[in-house]
Amino acid sequence: MRGLKLIDRFKSAQVHAFSPTDTSRAKLVDTHLTKIKSFASNLKPRNNSTTSVSEALHLPYGFPATDLIEPHLDPHLKPLDLVESLSELYQRFENCSSESQKASLCIEQYALLRGLGDHKLLRRCLRATRQHAVDVLSKVVVSAWLRFERREDELVGVSSSAVECGGFVVECPKAALANGYDSNSVFERCECGLGFGSGPYEAVNVEEEEFWVVGNENGVSFCVGNEEIKCDRFRIARLSSPFKAMLYGGFEESRKEKIDFSQNGISVVGMRAVEKYSRTKRVDFFGPEIVVELLSFANRFCCEEMKSACDFHLASLVGTIDDALILIEYGLEESADLLVASCLQVLLRKLPGCLYRPKVMRFLCSSETRERLAVLGSANSFFLYYFLSQVAMEESMVAKVTVKLLKRLGECATERWQEALASHQLGCVLLERREFMAAQHCFEDAVEAGHVYSLAGIARAKHKMGQQYSAYKMMSSVISEYKPAGWMYQERSLYNIGKEKLSDLSTATGMDPTLSFPYKYRAVAKMEEKRIREVILEIDKIIGFKLSPDCLELRAWFFIALENYENALRDIRVVLTLEPNYMFFGGKVKGDYLIEVLRRMVRQLSKADCWMCLYERWSSVDDIGSLAIIHQMLESDPGNSVLRFRQSLLLLRLNCQKAAMRSLRLARNHSSSEHEMLVYEGWILYDTGNREEALARAEKSISIQRSFEAFFLKAYVLADTNLNPKSSSCVIQLLEEALKCPSDGLRKGQALNNLGSIYVDCGNLDQAANCYKNALDIKHTRAHQGLARVYHLRNQRKAAHDEMTKLIGKAQSNASAYEKRSEYSDREMAKDDLDMATKLDPLRTYPYRYRAAVLMDDQKENEAVEELTKALNFRPDLQMLHLRAAFNDSMGDVASALRDCQAALCLDPSHRDTLDLYNRANNSVTQKQRPRNAAKENETQKDGIEKCHCWTGWMMTVVERAPSHLMITNDSSEDRYARNDQ
């Protein structure tokens, strides 16, 4: 399909200039309907046809061809062994005593984990960095970084200070500018309403000031030009050691009553201000120009207290970008750390908007600025330019400003990992800019700094310059020299042909099924061979567990080839739900235009029809279809907060966290009443870890108006703990109150499902069964899962198995159903179900853990460890790391157990089971005894495991102990609560 081109309309200079009511646009749409239909008919297989796909009527801007598509290089650090890297990082953190060094280690952890795309994990790294940041500049940068990452949950109609900090010290701009360090206060609520912060003025001692006035009668005059400024000799001497030596030492000035100060760079007004400051110890009487002069004077004569007062006062005056650009120059010139930090804070909190202001970028991107900032600390400079470069790359990978910032980042690098990161990212950017030789040099620098993955960048650059065989040899040597990984085979496939190419892609998928390129390539290859229906099956494999706009876009055009315009339109709508500004065809076509073209080919649905479709798709666990229907409904009613909230639930279930938060924020911003707004604010607070505030919002909403969502929110937040009988009773009462309030079947089904789960936890199986059956009566399909658990607890194993079979038959997204059914199957059937769950969703970790436990029971210890290792190679999961550590511990491999524990604790330092195992393993090393011969007190957990008779029995016990008010799943990585109801 090489050379396929888009509809002629997209070639014009007026790509997006047409009005929806423009008659010319309507004519073009009609024309393009015909062309798309013609395209689809030309792609149909014909028995006697010799027409190739590339000869069919062309799609806009080209349909992907196998020799043109390629995967993007990951622009983040990609260690050969992430588990080993995390373990080593945790060891360094444990042995580190410097708080500032701990902050640097947290940023290194952020860089290592960035490629995983887990936003909550990355936010935890940034919060830990802020916790250990000591100096003001580091605190300012990291607080602004956290604020930038949280920008999706901004609320309209909220005070600017609340928006800026979210109400907590960790992001508060005023707290970041406060001197001192207190790690315990970082996560407390901030005090934005109390002013700029504690400053030098508060330290003035009135009694001491009176003593100065009474206790000194000696006067001295400073002459500036023709003016004479009378001062108190003692007060001026108190300003600094140089003044004390000059006025009371052996210098000539100590005997003079008049001192000529004309050659000391101070104006008359400035000297008068110095005299007034010597009496009052305040600078807030003066205008900014005078304070700047005082700052320079204080620096020249080592007046530290005056410098601090000027620094503080000027920092409090910075309010706009223009202010910041003016004052930061003075701050850098006079080494006024607080002023520089305050100015940078204003600039950083205007990102990404200020990226487009030439003055700002000229300042930040210049080498001179970087050098002057380095004086304040190299670690601070690296934090700053790492943040700026990430924002720039997110905005545009090919912009000049991105290149400049990455060059400054490289200049700030002092450690090998920092050099590797800066060089690799700059190489990726230059590759996108088609500056292949420069990109190759950057990748070579990254490899020299120890980043093996950058060899793929060198090979890619060589390939672009026509050195395909050299690129092939390089990747082959990487595979032979290092432990093979999926990305290595994927990269080599780019320089291979025929069966060898497909073999490399198959190996890549086997090693890392999360790589999307192999699926896309195989799908396009089958498209070129006109094996249309196989194309859909191939691309569905990756979309089934990893929702990405590029794969959905590709599938949409496959559906056009099948003349299945309804599904094509569905996928385009979902892409725009994930990324509202997504541009199709390599950034050249807006999605709304494609929707306008395709909607002419499908039956138009009324509002009532849309609600019916949403109900049906929600009931059949068709999350993608549900998102598409909601997107369609929002076209005509963009301010519908109820739909936005439904959208956020679906996006959370599909693990699209940032998009979910954006929908939830829009739901709040479009709320039509205060009580509704409070509910959505409560969900935002809950999702950002602020449970108490979320509960307060729910209670306030109920006090205004009793509503389903308010009661549901309160019950949900209260259930987010290990429930005791009293709290369980309260949650049950709240859910029953929620069910009495008006709502639709979609939400009432979820409430009934949650209520059934609480009854299960309380042991009331009859009430639980009734709840689940009532939920099924209103087509809440996921209630089959809860009912199956009830049957299982009644020892009706076959009924439980049959109930899950019903769910599998009804649900389109049923990997979790296969996984859950395995609990109610015999060993062989359970294995089949878990194999199917892994096939449908290789990111689910429970099947790997269960299969590994079975192998351990069969005394196939090495195979058990390998089963977990296979998954850990592409998904470093806390539970799998903990289990592999337990396996290694039981086998006597203490070093491996410690490594896995350290890596797991790097992901979650508070994981109690891993901490216990880690401490026991450490004790074993200290006592120089093997785990199986360790002292009795170190065998407590193992004895518990042995009492279960087998590892699989232990795992099932752990699953049964899990509260059912949590989302019923074996996969701990999905421990979101029943609000998502997966």
Given a contact cutoff of 8 angstroms between Cβ atoms, the answer to whether 819 and 921 are in contact is no
pLDDT digits 0-9 by tens, 554-611 = 999 888 888 889 999 999 999 999 999 998 877 778 888 889 888 888 888 999 999 9
Cβ partners under 8 Å of residue 594, min gap 6? 572, 584
In degrees and rounded to multiples of 5, residue 570 shows phi and psi of -60, -50
Judged against a pLDDT cut of 90, whether residue 863 lies above it is answered with yes
Question: CA dist 840 to 196, 813, 818, 973, 980, Å?
Answer: 54, 9, 9, 17, 20
Closest CA to 970 of 751, 820, 783, 788: 820
Q: Is 342 exposed, middle or buried (0-12, 13-18, 19+ CB in 10 A)?
A: buried
**pTM of the predicted model over 0.85:** yes
| Amino acid letter, 226 | N
Tokens of 775: 């939920």
Question: CA dist 101 to 96, 104, 132, 134, 381, Å?
Answer: 7, 5, 8, 10, 14
Count, in order, helices (H) and strands (E) of the chain. 52, 5
Report the 10 Å Cβ neighbour count for 873.
17
Given a contact cutoff of 8 angstroms between Cβ atoms, the answer to whether 505 and 522 are in contact is yes
Report the 10 Å Cβ neighbour count for 170.
23
CA distance between the termini of the chain: 40
- 814 falls in which pLDDT band (50, 70, 90)? confident
The pLDDT mean for the chain works out to: 84
pLDDT digits 0-9 by tens, 98-145 = 999 999 999 999 999 999 988 889 999 999 999 999 989 999 999 999
Helix (H, G, I), strand (E, B) or coil at 227: strand
Given a contact cutoff of 8 angstroms between Cβ atoms, the answer to whether 571 and 559 are in contact is yes
Given a contact cutoff of 8 angstroms between Cβ atoms, the answer to whether 331 and 369 are in contact is no
pLDDT digits 0-9 by tens, 868-904 = 999 999 999 999 999 999 999 999 999 999 999 999 9
In degrees and rounded to multiples of 5, residue 930 shows phi and psi of -70, 150
pLDDT digits 0-9 by tens, 935-944 = 444 444 444 4
Cα angle 711, 713, 718; round to 5: 95
Determine the distance from the C-alpha atom of residue 102 to the mean position of all C-alpha atoms in its chain, rounded to a whole number. Answer: 21
Judged against a pLDDT cut of 70, whether residue 60 lies above it is answered with no
DSSP string, 885-937: HHHHHHTT-HHHHHHHHHHHHHH-TT-HHHHHHHHHHHHHHHTT--GGGS-GG
Residue 46 has a pLDDT of 43
Length of the chain in residues, anyone?
982
Range among 1-15, 147-161, 857-871 rated most confident: 857-871
Report the 10 Å Cβ neighbour count for 136.
23
pLDDT digits 0-9 by tens, 364-415 = 999 999 998 888 776 689 999 999 999 999 999 999 999 999 999 999 999 9
Residue 846 has a pLDDT of 94
What is the DSSP-derived secondary structure letter of residue 601? G
